[in-house]
Structure 1
Amino acid sequence: MSDSVSIALRFALYVDLMLLFGVALFGLYSLKGQERMSGAVLPFRSMLAGTAVLGALLSVASMLMMASAMSGESDFAALRPHIEMMVLETDVGLACVVRIVALVTAGLAVMLRAPGFSLWVVAFAGGLALSSLAWNGHGAMDEGSRRYWHFAVDILHLLAAGVWLGALVAFALMSKINALQTEARIRLLARAVNRFEVIGAVIVVLITVTGVVNYLFIVGPKLDEVFLSTYGILLFIKVVLFAGMLVLAALNRFHLGPFLERSLQDGQYTTAANALRRSVVVELVAAVVIIGLVAWLGTLSPEMGAL
Structure 2
Amino acid sequence: MSDSINIVLRFALYLDLMLLFGLAAFGLYSLRGQERVSGAQLPFAPLLATTAVLGGLLSLAAMVCMTWAMSGVSDWIELWPHIEMMVWETDVGLSWTLRMVALLLAGFAVTLNKRWPTASLGLVLLGGAVALATLAWAGHGAMDEGARRSWHFITDFLHLWAAGGWVGALAAFALLLRQSEPRLAVLARTLTGFETAGAVIVVVISVTGVINYLFIVGPSITGLLDSTYGQLLALKLTLFAVMLVFAALNRFHLSPLLENARQTGEHRVAVNALRRSMVLEFSVAVVILGFVAWLGTLSPEME
- Whether TM exceeds 0.5 here: the answer is yes
1:289 — aligned with what?
Answer: 287
The correspondence of residues 48-197 of structure 1 with structure 2, limited to 5 A, is 48-112=48-112, 113-180=115-182, 185-197=183-195
Question: 2: distance between equivalents of 1:241 and 1:189?
Answer: 26
Contact in 1 for aligned 2:102/2:128 (Cα 8 Å): yes
Contact in 2 for aligned 1:25/1:163 (Cα 8 Å): yes
Letter in 2 for 1:191: R
Question: 2: distance between equivalents of 1:174 and 1:244?
Answer: 23
Structure 2 gap segments, 5+ residues each: none
Matching residue within 235, 242, 245 for 1:244? 242
Letter in 1 for 2:282: L
Between 66-75 and 190-199, the greater mean CA deviation after superposition = 66-75
- C-alpha RMSD over aligned residues: 0.9
Question: 1: distance between equivalents of 2:283 and 2:71?
Answer: 37
Question: 2: distance between equivalents of 1:285 and 1:140?
Answer: 29
Contact in 2 for aligned 1:173/1:179 (Cα 8 Å): no
1:202 — aligned with what?
Answer: 200
Please state how far the C-alpha of 1:101 moved relative to its aligned partner. Answer: 0.8
Aligned to 2:180, the other structure's residue is in SS state: helix
Please state how far the C-alpha of 1:191 moved relative to its aligned partner. Answer: 0.5
Contact in 1 for aligned 2:2/2:69 (Cα 8 Å): no
1:14 — aligned with what?
Answer: 14
Residues 298 and 197 (structure 1), Cα distance of their counterparts in 2 relative to 1, 3 Å cut: same
Question: 2: distance between equivalents of 1:143 and 1:224?
Answer: 25
The alignment status of 1:35 with 2:35, answered yes or no, reads: yes
Letter in 1 for 2:223: E
Please state how far the C-alpha of 1:259 moved relative to its aligned partner. Answer: 1.1
Contact in 2 for aligned 1:175/1:277 (Cα 8 Å): yes
Q: Identity across aligned pairs (percent)?
A: 64
Question: 1: distance between equivalents of 2:98 and 2:65?
Answer: 17
User: TM (normalized to structure 2)?
Assistant: 0.97
Contact in 2 for aligned 1:168/1:283 (Cα 8 Å): yes
Q: Deviations over 1:207-237 (max 9, x none)?
A: 0000011011000111131111111111000
1:264 — aligned with what?
Answer: 262
Q: Deviations over 1:255-290 (max 9, x none)?
A: 111111111111111111111111111110000000
Structure 1 gap segments, 5+ residues each: none
Letter in 1 for 2:209: G
Question: 2: distance between equivalents of 1:159 and 1:27?
Answer: 15
Please state how far the C-alpha of 1:177 moved relative to its aligned partner. Answer: 4.8
User: TM (normalized to structure 1)?
Assistant: 0.96
Letter in 2 for 1:224: T
Between 270-279 and 121-130, the greater mean CA deviation after superposition = 270-279
